[in-house]
């Protein structure tokens, strides 16, 4: 049933409806409504909510409960996710599934508490050590955020890897009608967690489960990291999500995600009124990035407008995708100053004429 909710509260409800039964977190604006909501709601559901003493503690508590096979999550903003990087790489190295929700605010450092997309590299490139990736969804609306948070739990379990969901503060703080799937059943293709999780006692085959991330023998470590590499290849092959609109005969293609993409929809409307064909590529996963899809969608365009609330992070992936085939114009607003549909349209007009 559709209900008017605040973004952060809707994300929390969606996570619990997807079976999240352990939440650990530490307060930070602009996502405080997530733990606040879960703190009372989790009691009805018989799960665990704990306000940890720090982000470092939160991520390690998630490590513990997720290793025991419970759907677990934490949420924070970029500053807190920064402190969790060690935990994320450990979770990847031990193949423990869980969900990280990043409600992004302006940076670097303490920055601002308003809307930003400057955590793109943090989520897609990470700050932890070693060869690992954090598959990350980047929804544009509250509804999509709720759906993808639920999907994130499935993806995490399917591949036994932590999964990120990155929303900007606008989606977290706004109110909109949303229809949250209730009691969402896990994807039936997910293997039985009993095969690996730590629940005390023996596994079905009589052996004991263990969580292991340290190798004494280089060859064993190499074999394991190669295996991780194959797993990430599989995720890149199977899990890319992208929304492509009106690109077939577009003169200009906007590449944008999250709230910036939503604002760009208005730019596309301006284009229709003015007779300028503007299309949009909206990555819904930022790792894995829809490189091939982006290149194909832009093949007809005279030029590409890369729009984001960061000084050129998405831009790096757009450059990789286009392989130098199209001129790229970058547009950004930062730190809570919102992108303007009108300003983007002016750039599109110029690109339609001159290519850049």
Pairing of strands 3-6, 175-178: antiparallel
Helix residue spans in 110-204 (DSSP H): 120-124, 142-159, 169-173
Taking the least distance from each CB to other proteins, the nearer of 265 and 300 is 265
Q: How far is the CB of 177 from other proteins (least distance, A)?
A: 6
d(CA 306, CA 296): 16
Residues that bind other proteins (CB under 8 A): 2, 4, 29, 113-114, 170, 173-177, 259, 262-266, 269, 336, 338-342
Taking the least distance from each CB to other proteins, the nearer of 9 and 95 is 9
Cβ atoms of 310 and 334 closer than 8 Å:
yes
Q: Which residues of 300-331 are buried (b: 16+ CB within 10 A; e: fewer)?
A: ebbbbbbbbbbeebbbebbbebbeeebebbbb
Q: How far is the CB of 28 from other proteins (least distance, A)?
A: 12
Taking the least distance from each CB to other proteins, the nearer of 147 and 157 is 147
Taking the least distance from each CB to other proteins, the nearer of 133 and 345 is 345
Q: Which residues of 196-206 are buried (b: 16+ CB within 10 A; e: fewer)?
A: bbeeeeeeeee
Q: How far is the CB of 263 from other proteins (least distance, A)?
A: 4
Taking the least distance from each CB to other proteins, the nearer of 69 and 172 is 172
| Closest among 90, 151, 136 to 289, alpha carbons compared | 136
Residue 343: how many other CB atoms lie within 10 Å: 14
Q: How far is the CB of 268 from other proteins (least distance, A)?
A: 8
Q: How far is the CB of 33 from other proteins (least distance, A)?
A: 12
Backbone angles phi, psi at 54, to 5 degrees: -170, 170
| Closest among 337, 338, 335 to 112, alpha carbons compared | 335
Taking the least distance from each CB to other proteins, the nearer of 8 and 124 is 8
Q: How far is the CB of 46 from other proteins (least distance, A)?
A: 24
Q: How far is the CB of 293 from other proteins (least distance, A)?
A: 22
Taking the least distance from each CB to other proteins, the nearer of 94 and 266 is 266
Taking the least distance from each CB to other proteins, the nearer of 203 and 269 is 269
Q: How far is the CB of 40 from other proteins (least distance, A)?
A: 13
Beta-carbon contacts of 72 under 8 Å, excluding residues fewer than 6 positions away, are 20, 21, 22, 23, 24, 62, 65, 66, 98, 99
Q: How far is the CB of 47 from other proteins (least distance, A)?
A: 24
Q: How many residues does the chain have?
A: 356
Taking the least distance from each CB to other proteins, the nearer of 231 and 265 is 265
The helix (H) or strand (E) run that includes residue 309 is: none
d(CA 127, CA 122): 6
Cβ atoms of 166 and 138 closer than 8 Å:
yes
């Amino acid at each position: 049933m559709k209900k008017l909710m605040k973004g952060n509260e809707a994300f929390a409800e969606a996570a619990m409806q997807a079976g999240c039964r352990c939440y650990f977190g530490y307060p930070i604006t602009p996502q405080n409504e997530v733990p606040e909501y879960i703190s009372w709601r989790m009691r009805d559901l018989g799960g665990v909510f704990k306000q940890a003493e720090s982000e470092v503690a939160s991520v390690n508590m998630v490590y513990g409960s997720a290793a025991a096979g419970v759907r677990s999550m934490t949420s924070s903003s970029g500053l807190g996710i920064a402190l969790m990087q060690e935990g994320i790489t450990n979770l990847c190295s031990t193949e423990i599934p869980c969900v990280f929700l990043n409600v992004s605010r302006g940076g670097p450092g303490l920055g601002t508490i308003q809307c930003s997309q400057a955590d793109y590299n943090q989520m897609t490139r990470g700050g932890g050590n070693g060869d690992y990736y954090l598959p990350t969804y980047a929804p544009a609306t509250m509804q999509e955020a709720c759906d993808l948070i639920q999907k994130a739990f499935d993806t995490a379990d399917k591949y036994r890897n932590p999964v990120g969901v990155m929303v900007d503060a606008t989606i977290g703080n706004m109110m909109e009608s949303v229809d949250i799937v209730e009691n969402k059943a896990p994807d039936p293709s997910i293997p039985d967690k009993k095969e690996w999780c730590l629940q005390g006692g023996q596994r079905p085959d009589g052996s004991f489960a263990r969580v292991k991330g340290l190798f004494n023998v280089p060859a064993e470590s190499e074999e394991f990291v190669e295996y991780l590499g194959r797993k990430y290849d599989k995720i890149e092959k199977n899990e890319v999500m992208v929304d492509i609109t009106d690109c077939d005969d577009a003169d200009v293609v906007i590449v944008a995600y999250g709230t910036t993409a939503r604002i760009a929809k208005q730019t596309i409307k301006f284009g229709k009124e003015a007779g300028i064909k503007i299309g949009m590529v909206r990555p819904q996963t930022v790792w894995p990035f829809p490189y091939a899809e982006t290149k194909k969608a832009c093949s007809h365009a005279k030029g590409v407008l890369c729009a984001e609330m960061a000084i050129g992070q998405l831009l790096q992936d757009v450059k990789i995708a286009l392989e130098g085939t199209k001129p790229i114009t970058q547009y950004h607003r930062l730190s809570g100053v919102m992108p303007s549909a009108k300003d983007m349209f002016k750039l599109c007009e110029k690109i339609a004429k001159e290519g850049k």
